[in-house]
Amino acid sequence: MPVVIKDGNFVEDQFIANGGGFTSLGKFGQDSFEATSDLVGLDVPNDTDPADLAGFIDHVDAIRIPFPTYADGRGFSIARALRQMGFKGLLRAHGAILADQYPMALRVGFDEIEVPAEHAGRQPQSQWRESMGRVNDNYQDRVMSPTQPKPSAA
């Protein structure tokens, strides 16, 4: 069973428990598509141009983006682009995410992470909780914020 990490905790897959199901982008894009679950989740391959999803984001409850290896960071940009396009639903990263990448995932707009059980076994909950503490106090908030304090030269 894969493990879902939310707010730094290993939790039950609430999206599935609440009647959600994931379907592929190819299937969802067909005119004949009919939802078989109460909540619709979309599996988006990580070579998708986020702009191509513009017509879908208001019609799905969740989007899941794969990380085939931890070194493939396309998912970070897709997530950020989806949030910039106004996607308000559940955003889940899926695959080989490291605990040390958790703050990056949260900061680009992911809500939760789904990792294989073996992976979670080696990187216990404590490591995810610890790394979650690194979300705040980052440079990007400072350079993007309109209220950037003028640093005082020492």
Partner 1 sequence: MYLYNEFDDKFVRARVNQFRGQVEKRLDGSLTEDEFKPLRLMNGLYLQLHAYMLRVAIPYGTLDSAKMRQLAFIADKWDKGYGHFTTRQNIQYNWPKLKDVPEILDALADVGMHAIQTSGNCIRNVTSDHFAGAAADEIEDPRPTSELLRQWSTDHPEFQFLPRKFKIAVTGSPNDRAVTKAHDIGIRMIRNDAGEAGYEIIVGGGLGRSPFVGKVVREFLPREDLLPYLEAILQVYNLSGRRDNKYKARIKILVHETGIEEIKVAVEKNFLTQKKYFQAPSDALVSAIEDYFIPPKLIDEDVKGLEEAMLKNPALRSFVDTNIEEHRVPEYAIVSISLKPIGGTPGDATSEQMRLIADLAEKYSHDEIRISHEQNLILPHVHKSDIPALYDELKTLGLATANIGLVSDIIACPGMDYCALATARSIPIAQEISTRFNELKLEHEIGKIKIKISGCINACGHHHVGHIGILGLDKAGIENYQITLGGDGTQNMTIGERAGPGFSAEELMPALERLIAAYLDIRENDDETFLNTYRRLGQAPFKAALYPETADA
Residues that bind partner 1 (CB under 8 A): 49-50, 70-74, 76-78, 80-81, 84, 98, 100-101, 103-105, 107-108, 122-124, 127, 130-131, 134, 137-140, 142-148, 150-154
**Dihedral of alpha carbons 8, 9, 10, 15, sign:** negative
Q: Name which of 7 and 130 has its Cβ closer to partner 1.
A: 130
Cβ nearer to partner 1, comparing 27 with 142: 142
Report the nearest approach of partner 1 to the CB of residue 54 (Å).
12
CA distance 15 to 121: 22
Nearer to partner 1, 40 or 44 (CB): 44
Q: Minimum distance between the CB of residue 72 and partner 1, rounded to whole angstroms?
A: 6
- Residue 56 tokens read as 């879908």
Q: Which is nearer to partner 1, 22 or 76 (CB)?
A: 76
- In the bound complex, what is the minimum distance in angstroms from residue 154's beta carbon to partner 1? 5
Q: Which of 27, 69, 20 is nearest to 44 (CA)?
A: 27
- Name which of 13 and 72 has its Cβ closer to partner 1: 72
Contacts of 121 by beta carbon, 8 Å cutoff, 6+ apart = none
Query: Which 3-state string (H, E, C) describes 8-30?
Result: CEEECCHHHHCCEEEEEHHHHCC
What is the smallest separation between the CB atom of 135 and partner 1, expressed in angstroms?
9
Tokens of 74: 């396309």
Residues 6+ apart with CB under 8 A from 59: 40
Least gap, CB of 1 to partner 1 (angstroms) = 20
At residue 46, φ and ψ (nearest 5 deg) are: -85, 10
